[in-house]
Amino acid sequence: MNQPPLVLKNVTVRYEPGEPPVIADVSLEVATGERVALVGLNGAGKTTLLMAVVGLLPHEGEIEICGVAVAKRNFAQVREQVGFLFNVPEDQLLFPKVLDDVAFALRRRGLPAGEARAKASAVLDSLGIGHLAALSLHHLSHGQKQRVALAGALVAEPPLLLLDEPSVGLDPPGKDTRLPHDELEVAEALRRWEGSPTT
Q: What is the pLDDT of residues 3-62, one digit of tens each?
A: 899 999 999 999 888 899 999 999 999 999 888 888 888 888 999 999 999 999 999 999
pTM > 0.75: yes
pLDDT at position 189, please?
A: 58
- Secondary structure (3-state) at 7: strand
CA distance 199 to 163: 7
pLDDT averaged over every residue in the chain: 84
* More confident of the two residues 133 and 17: 133
CA atoms within 13 A on the CB side of 152: 28
CA distance 75 to 179: 34
Instruction: Convert the pLDDT of each residue in 63-93 to its tens digit.
Output: 999 999 999 899 888 888 999 988 888 888 8
**Structural domains of the chain ordered from first start:** 6-79 (3.40.50.300), 89-192 (3.40.50.300)
Bridge pairing between strands 60-65 and 6-13: antiparallel
Biggest CA–CA distance in the chain, Å, is 51
